A and B are shown apart, each in its own frame.
Chain A
Amino acid sequence: MERKLEKFFYDDNIVKMFIMATLFWGGAAFLVGLIIALQLAYWPLNLNLDFLTFSRLRPLHTNAAIFAFAGNAIFAGIYHSSQRLLKTRLFSDFLTKLHFWGWQTIILAALITLPLGFTQGKEYAELEWPIDLMITIIWVVFAVNFFGTIARRREQHLYVAIWFYIATIVTVAMLHVVNSIEIPVSFLQSYPVYAGVQDALVQWWYGHNAVAFFLTTPFLGLMYYYIPKAVNRPIYSYRLSIVHFWALVFIYIWAGPHHLLYTALPEWSQTLGMIFSVMLWAPSWGGMINGLLTLRGAWHLLRTEPIVQFLIAAVTFYGMATFEGPLLSIKSVSALGHYTDWIIGHVHGGALGWNGFLAFGMIYYLVPRLWGADGMYSKKLMSYHLWIALTGILLYYISMVSAGITQGLMWRAISPTGQMTYPDFVQTVNAIRPLYWVRVFGGLLFITGYFIGIYNIWKTIAMGKKVSPVEQQAYALTFKDDSNENAHRKLEGLGTVFTVLVLVSVIVGSVIEILPTLSIHKHLPQDEQILPYTALEQLGRDVYVTEGCYVCHSQMIRTYTPDVIRFGPSSTIAESMYDHPFQWGSKRTGPDLARVGGKYPDLWHYRHMVDPRSMNNQSIMPAYGWLETKKADFYSLRKKLSVLRTLGVPYTDEQVSQADIWAEKQAEEVAAQLEKDGAPAGLKDKKIVALIAYLQCLGKKAKTGTDTSKWNNFPFKKVAGGEQ
């Protein structure tokens, strides 16, 4: 059959739109990052406003950086490079636009709901269920548009960048859907179906693979396209890129449990996570070397071309971050680094260095081409951007790693007499406070670089001539030629089979890792099980989640001696078995709270929440004054408890139907005691009372415990002479 020469146009308008969105939301993400960095260095900066408080803004920062900045950059690059690699226009102009506006709407929804405290309390998956649904729909739109484009291609073979994009689309879909299974309580609240250790495992399987399949594989696809473009040379070894791809897809999916080392997660799962993380060293560095060596014979470009400098700096950061990641996944290193700022340094090396520089390198490559200018307005400004931002990242990274290791060592320091050298947690915070200012300065430099970039891009666009789309030509595919190719080469041409193989390889890893843990609670011995939260405690727990306490406080005492000495016996699986969502946390800016119950009187908590300095004059915790004025919603409790009962929390019929009364009565008692001790009157219907009840029950819910609250036994049986 004769092949037909076809004419078509690329859709570059959408690429421009996604670039604009990347730059806009990138700025927002960086600025929020700077604000919260300042708040850690100087606590009064929440201005006593709930929606400006660190614990509400930090989720906004992470979501904006990952899904708004990196997300839009990925879409820009994927839509630009795929059209060219597949020699066809995108599948549907309508879906393309729907994808763009849908994604921006999701970001806007996040921008509004997260500061207002509508959150699921699961890191990088904080967005509430209606937004989760929107994400699912828009991701399907993206997938249909992308696979439709592949189906209409005029190039039989799928270049390796396309493979990375395919892996991204199918795996992110799986991660998002599985981790977001939740039951709505109201329009903007829901409880995840998983509890405690299950929720932790599913969440970090999601969390780690969000890094793998949202911040790594799509950017690697971009790297395999834009580095050859920028240096006008093919990738160093195409074969190595294939090995890189399959190794990452097979191995990455298993690595999640390295976020849970020394926790209550079953040991085999932790070990599995650690081993697979360490294995990632090889393919990651293979990929980095492949990117770097693409410059063979053209190293001079690294001296003269800022775009190449950006891309190569990005790949170098990829190498550094993927060296450090497996290192931190080794149990003994994790013991020191986990919960500290070392992790914060690590992720910013990846996010700013790898994702940030690759995105800016790509944008600098694309802007003059898309807006019809002869190169960027100023090469010098590009260089300034690079070097100022690079200095910023290095300051950020070095300060945070120093802070992390310092604090990690102080937590474990034992004096010759066998006591903790720094028994007061705040001592270990004080030691690193100056480094928080260094971090602020580093972030400021990175943002300065960003604004230089914006100015340069704006001038370039102003310089550009109006360009109309240029007609492209390519032969239609017949799918019949080359019938004697060998198996693997055929596979490389078969989009569907290939996609299924990728999906199978990620599903197998996920199922083996997650399935055994899903039924773990059923097998806990009776005497180890705990009592469910009282209605008031559950209400307080919802306040805890809303305020984002988990951002700075863990609830997981590790099976690690310094943790046990400082905070008490290590946490058990049973202790979080009714926690929807789990709140184990990943960072200790403040102390662990798993056994804080009973440690201080109620009044201490009241004063500490209203003014942390009144109880500990060195504390850097922001004040949560609104908790004593905002009302707790007792009437939501019937619905909440009934949803929790559906999820397996053993509440009785009466407890559910009288949930509000149960909570009100306990609140009256707590408030009365507070008033007697010197707190103001009229706190009984305020959020602070619920939160105090919750904090005071942490670590005290054992069925066999001697100091369990009588409120667990509601409704009280009538006995002669009134209530029991």
Chain B
Amino acid sequence: MKQEALAFFQNTGLTAFASVLFFIAFAIILYGVFQKKNRKYYEQMSQLPLEKEQCHER
């Protein structure tokens, strides 16, 4: 199994496949995140911490 496992990782086709897979996942996230139509939504999201809570009068 050790030899098999090592052979597994010397399989350049597979490692290339994995890196392409990683890159695609990365690209999808980037694409999803940077779509123009989402701009307003992200602006709202980024305001979440700044919403005022009820406080005592100072």
Contacts and interface: CB of A to CB of B under 8 A. Distances in A.
Interface in B7-57: 8-10, 22, 25-26, 29-30, 32-35, 38, 41-51, 53-56
A309 to B, nearest CB: 20
A523 interface: yes
A472 B1 contact: no
Interface residues of B, number: 34
B24 to A, nearest CB: 12
Contacts of A155: 48
Interface stretch (A335-343, A514-522, A624-632): A514-522
Given A250-B22, A470-B56, A516-B2, A488 B32 contact: yes
Contacts of A527: none
A467 B49 contact: no
A166 to B, nearest CB: 16
B41 A472 contact: no
Contacts of B34: 239
B49 A519 contact: no
A361 to B, nearest CB: 15
Contacts of B9: 268, 516
A319 B53 CA distance: 32
A240 to B, nearest CB: 8
A92 interface: no
Interface centre among A239, A372, A489, A520 (most CB of B within 10 A): A239
Nearest to A372: B56
A520 B25 contact: no
B26 A247 contact: yes
Contact of A522 (B1, B45, B56): B1
Contacts of B22: 250
A225 B46 CA distance: 10
B42 A232 contact: no
A471 B54 CA distance: 7
Interface string A439-471: 000000000000000000000000000010011
Contact of A243 (B30, B35, B47, B56): B30
Interface in A259-310: 266, 268
A676 interface: no
A242 interface: yes
B6 A516 contact: yes
Contacts of B43: 234, 238
Nearest to B57: A470
Contacts of A224: 49
Contact of A488 (B10, B26, B33): B33
Contacts of B8: 516
Nearest to A83: B53
A361 B58 CA distance: 22
Contact of B41 (A159, A161, A473, A489): A489
A239 B30 CA distance: 9
B54 A470 contact: yes
A487 B32 CA distance: 9
A409 to B, nearest CB: 34
A157 B56 contact: no
B22 to A, nearest CB: 7
Contacts of A515: 5
Given A242-B33, A266-B6, A523-B1, A234 B47 contact: yes
A470 B55 contact: yes
Given A470-B56, A471-B54, A157 B45 contact: yes
Contact of B56 (A250, A467, A473, A520): A467
Contacts of A81: 49
B29 A159 contact: no
B11 to A, nearest CB: 11
Contacts of A225: 49
Contacts of B26: 246-247
A472 B34 CA distance: 34
Nearest to B29: A246
| Among B9, B38, B49, B53, residue most surrounded by chain A Cβ atoms (within 10 Å) | B49
Contacts of B56: 372, 467, 470
B25 A159 contact: no
A523 B50 contact: no
A85 B48 CA distance: 7
A215 B35 CA distance: 32
A372 B58 CA distance: 9
Contact of B29 (A242, A486, A489, A520): A242
Nearest to B41: A489
A703 interface: no
A470 B56 CA distance: 7
A469 to B, nearest CB: 10
B48 A159 contact: yes
A450 B31 CA distance: 45
B50 A489 contact: no
A238 B45 contact: yes
A228 interface: yes
A243 B34 CA distance: 10
B5 A228 contact: no
A389 interface: no
A238 B46 contact: yes
A6 interface: no
A166 B34 CA distance: 23
Contacts of B55: 470
B50 A232 contact: yes
Given A243-B33, A467-B56, A472-B54, A229 B45 contact: no
A374 interface: yes
Nearest to A229: B49
A311 to B, nearest CB: 13
Nearest to B45: A238
Contacts of A125: none
B10 to A, nearest CB: 8
Contacts of A233: 50
A152 interface: no
Given A159-B45, A228-B50, A232-B50, A239 B25 contact: no
B6 A268 contact: yes
A159 B49 contact: yes
A239 B42 contact: yes
A450 to B, nearest CB: 28
15 contacts: A84-B49, A157-B48, A229-B49, A229-B50, A233-B50, A234-B43, A234-B50, A242-B29, A243-B29, A250-B22, A470-B53, A473-B54, A515-B5, A516-B8, A519-B5
Given A157-B44, A234-B47, A268-B9, 11 more contacts: A84-B49, A85-B49, A235-B46, A238-B42, A238-B43, A470-B55, A486-B38, A488-B32, A489-B41, A519-B1, A522-B1
Interface of B: 1-3, 5-6, 8-10, 22, 25-26, 29-30, 32-35, 38, 41-51, 53-56, 58
Interface of A: 10, 81, 84-85, 155, 157, 159-161, 224-225, 228-229, 232-235, 238-239, 242-243, 246-247, 250, 266, 268, 372, 374, 467, 470-473, 486-489, 492, 515-516, 519-520, 522-523
Identify the 8 closest CB pairs spanning chains A and B, nearest first.
A516-B5, A234-B46, A523-B2, A238-B46, A488-B32, A159-B48, A238-B42, A239-B33
